């Protein structure tokens, strides 16, 4: 059986409450407006969900979507998007995951899965081409994310099955539980694992044996070779293939762009052991996702210590911050253990580390005490306290139960005095970066539809001091080359938002686009890949319009849920407390409220939204969004 790649790809609908299973083809109009992956998911989220729905109710919809180009041999094309209303923020819930699940789903004949309802007992979905079953998961409920995948493969006697799974955190409805596949890949942000847990859905397992038919296969193969050469020739990819995303730490900590002790400092002064080369003593090689020539993640073994023997993959740059700089732990071994624990339990690295760091500052300032923390000494650098808090959060024990509901609920329970120290936006923790010296980064985390976010819009090339002529060529307008400047940074953020919306919709890796490498693939290359793969023709402007449409429908969703300009803001400390460490360009910096608001006005104008951040009627009409929800799928 041959499955053509574009028009007869299908959406699989599963109602867990009734057991009803059906499918339908993705209409051409949806493809041309939203492509696939995140784009189609966000369209369906807006269309399938009634406003003000409780994220943990059976009425929340869980969406799984493969990128339009998932399965081509370049640019890490194994990306899958998972969406729902976020139980953590109440806003758009959406998280992107790599690995091999998305191509496997396509090989089974499906591009998207729409899951509603809830079962009375634990189940997992098994998709084997056209054979779809809802199977009992009682024997794997309680298993960690690694064992769950292993048991499913054993049960089905098939080592090639790929699974999306939750761990104990998802089962216990931790609001920032993640969804995992393989040893390392995590859809970490916004609590999609919590949504799976609320439906008693332990896993989605898929095995596909059909083929993908490309429109111009020979030309596509040759062009994919060019794309892999293009990305691997960049200095960024060369460094990443050696050190992974940890390479970012070498630059940001030296400069003074990393928050330490929650938000008290902007550099880990005794952080030498976290430098990426120190992974060498634990590393046994590197690996990558489907269609990736970079191979950015280390496979590591910890042979000594109380947690040995321990095998894991990573760690990412985020783990260096979550369990290193933010909690003032300065040993690589601490990062490797904590990274393994959050992966095993299925809980978001970034959110977990951010909450623990916040709690440590509250403990230091006497806002919480030993009685509140169950006697646990939440002191800076206490690695055992970090490990124990990861476990307590996962199993909702004692103080961990308070943190397990995220910042919004925890602030209410601990008290209003704690809010000032919480580095969060829309209820979601920020990366361990310190954006006070970088207005473009600050605007990006403030305006993201998901909450504080470095993956929706971050223009990392702002750090390079590139010639303004080159920046204008990339961004289509004036952008200052100085990363301290506010000038043109609204344009940077807006442009990157559109690029990443399309990136997540075609299913390639953000790190293999204009993220940290200015000469990496972008609109032209995306257009060529789409055409050779599917036969569809999109110009740069048409792709940018698709990106605008995707981001705007996310904004419409948030507006419908009560979010507005007041939520596109930074924690108070960004405006009040200047940085104290690092290079001169990063020292004594804080965000200007006046300049920030001017930058926000410019950002809204670029999107054609009104002064409160609400899409205008004219912009909706231009984007064919004026009749949403249209309920086409």
Residues contacting 125, CB < 8 A, separation 6+: 14, 113, 115, 132, 133, 134, 135, 201, 203, 204, 205
Structure token pair of residue 174: 């931790």
The full DSSP string for 251-288 is HHHHHT-B-BTTTTBS--TT-GGGSGGGGTTTEEEEE-
On whether the 439-622 domain is CATH 2.40.10.480, my answer is: no
Residues contacting 393, CB < 8 A, separation 6+: 169, 174, 347, 352, 355, 400, 403, 404
Alpha helices in 181-246 (DSSP H): 192-198, 217-232, 235-243
Question: How would residue 2 be classed by pLDDT, with cut points 50, 70 and 90?
Answer: very low
Question: How would residue 4 be classed by pLDDT, with cut points 50, 70 and 90?
Answer: very low
Question: How would residue 305 be classed by pLDDT, with cut points 50, 70 and 90?
Answer: confident
Task: Spell out the CATH class of 248-429.
Answer: mainly alpha
CA triple 482-487-594, angle to 5 deg? 115
Q: Which fold has domain 2-213?
A: Aldehyde Ferredoxin Oxidoreductase;  A, domain 1 (3.60.9)
Taking the model in full, what pTM does it have? 0.97
- Confidence at residue 304, expressed as pLDDT on a 0 to 100 scale: 87
> Which residue spans of the chain are classified as CATH 3.60.9.10?
2-213
User: Would you say residue 7 has pLDDT above 90?
Assistant: no
The rounded distance, in Å, linking the Cα atoms of 15 and 8 is 22
- Confidence at residue 8, expressed as pLDDT on a 0 to 100 scale: 67
- Confidence at residue 9, expressed as pLDDT on a 0 to 100 scale: 84
Average pLDDT over residues 212-230: 95
More confident residue, 235 or 94: 94
> Which residue spans of the chain are classified as CATH 1.10.569.10?
248-429
The rounded mean pLDDT for the chain is 96
* Percent with pLDDT over 70 in the chain: 99
pLDDT 10s digits, 512-544: 999 989 999 999 999 999 999 999 999 999 999
Helix, strand, coil percentages for the chain (3-state, nearest 5):
45, 15, 40
State the sign of the Cα–Cα–Cα–Cα dihedral 263, 267, 273, 275. Answer: positive
The rounded distance, in Å, linking the Cα atoms of 123 and 121 is 6
Question: How would residue 357 be classed by pLDDT, with cut points 50, 70 and 90?
Answer: very high
């Amino acid at each position: 059986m041959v499955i053509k790649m574009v028009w007869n790809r299908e959406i699989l609908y599963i109602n867990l409450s009734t057991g009803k299973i059906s499918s339908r083809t993705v209409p051409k109009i949806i493809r041309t407006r939203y492509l696939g992956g995140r784009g189609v998911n966000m369209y369906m989220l807006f269309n399938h969900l009634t406003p003000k729905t409780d994220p943990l109710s059976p009425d929340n919809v869980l969406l799984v979507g493969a990128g339009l180009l998932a399965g081509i041999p370049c640019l890490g094309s194994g990306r899958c998007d998972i969406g729902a209303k976020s139980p953590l923020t109440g806003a758009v819930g959406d998280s992107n995951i790599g690995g091999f699940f998305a191509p496997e789903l396509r090989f089974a004949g499906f591009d998207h899965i729409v899951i509603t309802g809830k079962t009375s007992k634990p189940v997992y979905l098994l998709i084997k081409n056209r054979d779809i079953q809802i199977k009992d998961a009682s024997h794997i409920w309680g298993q960690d994310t690694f064992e769950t995948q292993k048991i499913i493969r054993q049960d089905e006697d098939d080592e090639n099955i790929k699974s999306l799974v939750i761990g104990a955190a998802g089962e216990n409805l931790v609001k920032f539980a993640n969804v995992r596949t393989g040893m390392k890949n995590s859809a970490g942000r916004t609590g999609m694992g919590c949504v799976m847990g609320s439906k008693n859905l332990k896993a989605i397992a898929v095995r596909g044996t059909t083929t993908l038919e490309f429109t111009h296969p020979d030309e596509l193969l040759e062009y994919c070779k060019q794309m892999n050469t293009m990305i691997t020739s960049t200095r960024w990819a060369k460094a990443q293939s050696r050190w992974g995303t940890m390479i970012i730490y070498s630059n940001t900590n030296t400069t003074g762009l990393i928050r330490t002790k929650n938000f008290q400092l902007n550099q880990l002064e005794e952080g030498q052991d976290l430098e990426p080369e120190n992974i060498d003593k634990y590393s046994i090689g590197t690996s990558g996702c489907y269609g990736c020539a970079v191979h950015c993640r280390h496979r590591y073994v910890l042979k000594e210590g109380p947690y040995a023997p321990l095998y894991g993959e990573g760690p990412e740059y985020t783990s260096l911050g979550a369990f290193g700089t933010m909690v003032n732990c300065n040993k690589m071994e601490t990062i490797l253990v904590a990274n393994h624990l959050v992966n095993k339990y299925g809980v978001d690295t970034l959110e977990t580390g951010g909450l623990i760091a916040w709690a440590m500052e509250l403990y230091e300032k006497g806002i919480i005490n030993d009685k509140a923390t169950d006697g646990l000494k939440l002191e800076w650098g206490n690695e055992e306290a970090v490990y124990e808090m990861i476990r307590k959060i996962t199993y909702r024990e004692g103080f961990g139960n308070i943190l397990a509901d995220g910042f919004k609920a925890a602030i209410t329970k601990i008290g209003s005095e704690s809010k000032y120290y919480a580095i969060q936006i829309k209820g979601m923790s920020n990366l361990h970066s310190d954006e006070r010296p970088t207005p473009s980064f600050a605007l990006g985390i403030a305006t993201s539809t998901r909450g504080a976010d470095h993956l929706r819009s971050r223009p990392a090339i702002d750090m390079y001091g590139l010639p303004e002529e080159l920046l204008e060529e990339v961004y289509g307008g004036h952008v200052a080359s100085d990363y301290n400047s506010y000038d043109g940074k609204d344009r940077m953020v807006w442009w990157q938002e559109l690029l990443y919306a399309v990136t997540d919709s075609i299913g390639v890796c953000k790190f293999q686009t204009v993220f940290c490498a200015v000469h990496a693939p972008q609109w032209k290359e995306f257009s060529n890949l789409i055409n050779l793969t599917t036969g569809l023709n999109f110009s740069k402007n048409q792709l940018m319009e698709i990106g605008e449409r995707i981001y705007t429908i996310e904004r419409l969703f948030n507006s419908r849920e009560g979010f507005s300009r007041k939520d596109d803001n930074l924690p108070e400390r960004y405006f009040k407390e200047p940085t104290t460490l690092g290079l001169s360009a990063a020292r004594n910096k804080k965000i200007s409220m006046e300049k920030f608001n001017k930058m926000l006005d410019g950002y809204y104008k670029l999107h054609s939204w009104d002064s409160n951040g609400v899409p205008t009627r004219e912009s909706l009409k231009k984007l064919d969004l004026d009749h949403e929800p249209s309920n086409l799928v």
